[in-house]
Structure 1
Amino acid sequence: MEDLKQAYATLGLPENATKEEVEKRYYLLMRQARAQGARRDHEEAGGNAVDFEAVNRAYKFIIEYDERKAQEQFKQSQYGKYKKMAGTAEKLDHFFHYYKFHLLGALVAVILIGFAVNSYLERQAQKAEEAKKPPIDVSVMFHGDFYLNNQNQDTEELEAALLSFFPEWKRIGAQITYDPSDPKNEFDIAATQKAVVMLMTEKSDVYILDRNSFTKLARQQLFQPLDEAYEQTLKPLLPSEAAALKTRSAEDTTDHIYGIDISGSPLVKSIPVVSKEMIAAIRADAKHPDKALLFIQRMLEGAKPEGTKPEGTKPEGTSS
């Protein structure tokens, strides 16, 4: 304490001086010391000369003493309640303070590993279930502003509804990829991003799209041209030529038919999907292109105006 008393005396302050008073007095003495150093005749300073080094040592001693005192008060307030365990509690607190990000990173890593393992096990279970089912005759993806009639429904009901149009088939794979035409919030933006991933990873044979999705994807050459199929099979089944949607891709400047509007099909009404329109297209690298075309043809046959027949058919009751 004598050293502390001497430090205050060097600065010319009482022991109860505040920190602000110490700071103010120190800077005053420093200015005086610099002024003295600037004089050419040092003897003029006389007995009032400021000892620069002594002032610095005194100031540093007081500041370090105040800091130690503040730390001890903080420790007492934080860990005093632990009494004999105060030292251990302080060490633990420091450990978690300095290594909290390491611990957080380790926790995240454990969660991710658990999620990956769980996803792998679920995928393996799905594969086992898929192996028990018959092979898919054709896969259909509803891509765009589509959703199921009832949130409690699942794609199995959608698959069953589609399969009812094709009694000769054993199984139809179906899924819905929601891709809003006008994203309005974070959920819509996330759905759009997911839709892009689905297009790259889930290669369906038939795509049922809204107008916006059809236009966007057809220009990216995702679908195969249907010009030949239109002339040979689909044209007599359409209510009008406008149902055959033409566009051009980014690399082909010639218009081709890439989509068929099946919105008017009576069969569409029995599909448990909410939509404004349905445009059917076949993926360029479809695994089952022939069955994909048959899917569109069957939908159009259901939409054919009453009393009309495809070209090449004979009226009922006529002999061959």
Structure 2
Amino acid sequence: MEHKKDPYEILGVKKGDSESEIERKYFILSKRYKIEKSENPEADIETKIEELNWAYNVLMGGSTEKSEEEEINESSPILRKLGINQKKLSNFFHYYKFHILISIIVIVFVGYTVKGCITRVDPDFCIAFVGDYSYTDTLPLKEMILNEWTDVKEILIDGAILSEDNDPQLNYAMQMKAVVLFGAGDVDVFILDKTNFEKYAKQGAFISLDEIVDELNIDLERNKDYILKVEVGEDEGTAGEHLYGIDVSGSRLFSDNVITGDEKIAAIYTRTKRYDLSVKFLKLLLN
């Protein structure tokens, strides 16, 4: 199709805007058009999508207009034999590239999880990091814990890394992974940043630590931000404010920066099958 509009106007950007800004506007409009198409299938959204893809390609140093005959001649011989329009196929992958990426990440994660369930030794204890953290390998932390904790022989450490610096689609995939971690019910202790701690604590995801305050010598003043009133699942005996997490950011287990992140709040998951070990692990973090 012939495009007469200004690509800057189509994307709502100005000359001189960065590639990241062009990417951001493209993603916003792509998502908007997808919603419009789902809400009104009869509307001619495909034209808008083609214009959007064209404008994006032009501003990112990509395509120029070619005649239909030129496009056919330049198409892959295999695609021509199959009767597939190469331009439309390219537009499809370009428009849905993020969705395809997310699907691949989810499939790989599920496949890895299934494979792990089949091949790995069942862990004695499971820890998961959820929040704005950075790490490349959890083996050093695992070895540090096992060297000091004789109660367990095998530990599983997993996580969902949620950061504002992440690509939005990667963050979405990590949010889906966090849902899997909470839904599977295998994790004993979560370590979270403050934002994610409050989010999940208010959903009733963690056990009250009130009963072990004295045992672990927990400083309530220092951890006052983690004393919350949780409505979900509370009965008359548990109503009110309770301590659901403790600040372990200064734990010596994290002193070598194996897991980097400003906030580390430890909380025992309500579905843990190893409560006593969970309490011992909190004690190890605090010592």
Tell me the TM-score normalized by structure 2. 0.55
Code of the aligned partner of 2:210: D
Q: Which residue of 1 aligns with 2:119?
A: 129
Q: Distance in 2 between matches of 1:97 and 1:171?
A: 52
Q: Which residue of 1 aligns with 2:174?
A: 191
Q: Which residue of 2 aligns with 1:296?
A: 282
Q: Distance in 2 between matches of 1:161 and 1:129?
A: 24
Contact 1:280 1:296 in 2 (8 A): yes
Contact 1:181 1:213 in 2 (8 A): no
CA deviations 1:167-202 (Å, max 9, x no partner) are: 342111111211236877333333333322332235
Q: 1:141 aligns with which of 128, 136, 141?
A: 128
**Per-residue deviation, 1:125:** 5.0
Contact 1:222 1:283 in 2 (8 A): yes
Contact 2:186 2:272 in 1 (8 A): yes
Contact 2:185 2:271 in 1 (8 A): no
Whether 2:261 is the aligned partner of 1:286: answer no
Q: Distance in 1 between matches of 2:251 and 2:108?
A: 42
Q: Report 1:1-320 matches (<5 A).
A: 96=83, 125-130=115-120, 133=121, 135-148=122-135, 153-180=136-163, 185-201=168-184, 203-231=186-214, 233-234=215-216, 236=217, 238-239=218-219, 241-243=221-223, 245-251=226-232, 252=234, 254-270=240-256, 272-300=258-286, 302=287
Question: In 2 relative to 1, CA 129–214 (structure 1 residues): closer, same or farther, beyond 3 Å?
Answer: same
Q: Distance in 1 between matches of 2:222 and 2:111?
A: 48
**Per-residue deviation, 1:230:** 1.4
**Per-residue deviation, 1:285:** 1.1
Contact 2:163 2:171 in 1 (8 A): yes
- Secondary structure at 1:273 match in 2: coil
List runs of 5+ in structure 1 lacking aligned partners.
Answer: 1-76, 79-88, 102-114, 303-320
Q: Distance in 1 between matches of 2:198 and 2:114?
A: 37
Q: Distance in 2 between matches of 1:229 and 1:160?
A: 27
Contact 1:147 1:176 in 2 (8 A): no
Code of the aligned partner of 1:247: L
CA deviations 1:94-150 (Å, max 9, x no partner) are: 86259xx9xxxxxxxxxxxxx9999998666534531xx3x42211001111121xx
Code of the aligned partner of 1:296: L
Q: Distance in 2 between matches of 1:117 and 1:141?
A: 20
Q: Which residue of 1 aligns with 2:65?
A: none
- Secondary structure at 2:148 match in 1: coil
Work out the percentage of aligned pairs sharing the same amino acid: 27
Question: In 2 relative to 1, CA 118–183 (structure 1 residues): closer, same or farther, beyond 3 Å?
Answer: closer
Q: Distance in 2 between matches of 1:196 and 1:120?
A: 12
Question: In 2 relative to 1, CA 123–181 (structure 1 residues): closer, same or farther, beyond 3 Å?
Answer: closer
List runs of 5+ in structure 2 lacking aligned partners.
Answer: 1-68, 71-76, 89-103
Question: In 2 relative to 1, CA 157–254 (structure 1 residues): closer, same or farther, beyond 3 Å?
Answer: same
Q: Distance in 2 between matches of 1:117 and 1:185?
A: 18
- Secondary structure at 1:208 match in 2: strand
- Secondary structure at 1:275 match in 2: coil
Q: Distance in 2 between matches of 1:180 and 1:209?
A: 12
Q: Distance in 2 between matches of 1:97 and 1:263?
A: 56
- Secondary structure at 2:250 match in 1: coil
Q: Distance in 2 between matches of 1:216 and 1:167?
A: 33
- Secondary structure at 1:294 match in 2: helix
